[in-house]
Amino acid sequence: MNIAADIADDLEVAEAGIGHALFANAPDTVSFNKLRKRLMRQVRQAFDDFDMLKGQKRWLIGISGGKDSYGLLSLLLDLQWRGLLPVELIACNLDQGQPNFPKHVLPEYLTKIGVKHRIEYRDTYSIVKEKVPEGATYCSLCSRLRRGNLYRIAKEEGCDALVLGHHREDILETFFMNFFHGGRLASMPAKLLNDEGNLMVLRPLAYCAEDDMAKFAAAMQFPIIPCDLCGSQDGLQRNAMKDMLADIERRMPGRKDTMLRALAHVNPSHLLDPKLFDFSALSVTQTS
């Protein structure tokens, strides 16, 4: 957004007051207000860039109990409260049967803030433990099982889209995982149509930095639920990508934003994929 739009956004937020009720006890500091406004602008920018609101009436918000999904829900509720998101929201947590999962935390929190929600129990943990060899990582299978169930629930609830809390770092890490290990240029799109063609998958936090989401979660004091299934494993490929990107950012500040911009500026004629660019059609113009 340009400077004029930024000023308009600031005035809009100021005039609207404190926002959704869940912000009632949020810090009243300059730093937090700037953080909150920045995240709201980035979410709205994603809405605009990827036309996320077109034809949308009802969204299922995937809530894991982690900082990002809590932050996503809070920002969407705030935008909805301000009249900037004319979509009905339903929060959904898939209880996957992990040992010691605190089943009470999310229902209590979502009820407290007055959000319509659905808690679904599916013991995918046992399936993952059975199918994945000892010493291998659980993330890929766990993610596929979780996503399949969320697709189903979204359709059962009459939703137009499943909305997920993946942020800038998730997108960059996925790109480099595909680049280094998959031999392809691909990442997480901000907007995706499922294989059946009857449900959108949206990622409104695509432009939001993970560090900002962590600061936001800490300030809002969300009741974070750690992932004891896959997040506790060492040596994951994604962790290696995260460390690499963090090191690059330390040595060359601003590189993450540059990389993200690169994903939005693709020049097929300067790559090596003949399916995307007809290299055989290139010819030299004869001159006299």
Q: In this predicted model, what pLDDT tens digit does every residue of 50-75 receive, in sequence order?
A: 999 999 999 999 999 999 999 999 99
93 pairs with which residues across the strands?
119
Tell me whether residue 45 is in a domain.
Answer: yes
pLDDT in tens, 256-268: 999 999 999 999 9
Q: Sorting pLDDT into bands at 50, 70 and 90, what band is 288?
A: low
- Tokens 């600031």, located at residue: 10
* CB contact at 8 A, 125 and 98: yes
Tell me whether residue 261 is in a domain.
Answer: no
Q: State the pLDDT at residue 152.
A: 92
Q: Sorting pLDDT into bands at 50, 70 and 90, what band is 14?
A: very low
CA angle 62, 65, 70 (to 5 degrees): 70
95 pairs with which residues across the strands?
121
Tell me whether residue 125 is in a domain.
Answer: yes
Mean pLDDT, the chain, integer: 87
Tell me whether residue 285 is in a domain.
Answer: no
Q: Sorting pLDDT into bands at 50, 70 and 90, what band is 136?
A: low
Tell me whether residue 250 is in a domain.
Answer: no
Distance CA 230, CA 190 (A): 24
Lowest mean pLDDT among 83-97, 136-150, 193-207, 239-253: 136-150
pLDDT in tens, 168-204: 999 999 999 999 999 999 999 999 999 899 999 999 9
Q: Sorting pLDDT into bands at 50, 70 and 90, what band is 1?
A: very low
Percent of the chain exceeding pLDDT 70 equals 87
Domain span at residue 112 reads: 3-231
pLDDT in tens, 247-257: 999 999 999 99
Tell me whether residue 249 is in a domain.
Answer: no
Q: What is the mean pLDDT of residues 231-240?
A: 66
Q: State the pLDDT at residue 129.
A: 72
Say what the alpha-carbon torsion angle 143, 145, 147, 149 is, to the nearest 10 degrees. -150
Domain total for the chain? 1
Tell me whether residue 257 is in a domain.
Answer: no
DSSP state of 286: P
Tell me whether residue 43 is in a domain.
Answer: yes
14: CATH: 3.40.50.620
**Residue 103 in 3-state DSSP?**
coil
Percent of the chain exceeding pLDDT 90 equals 68
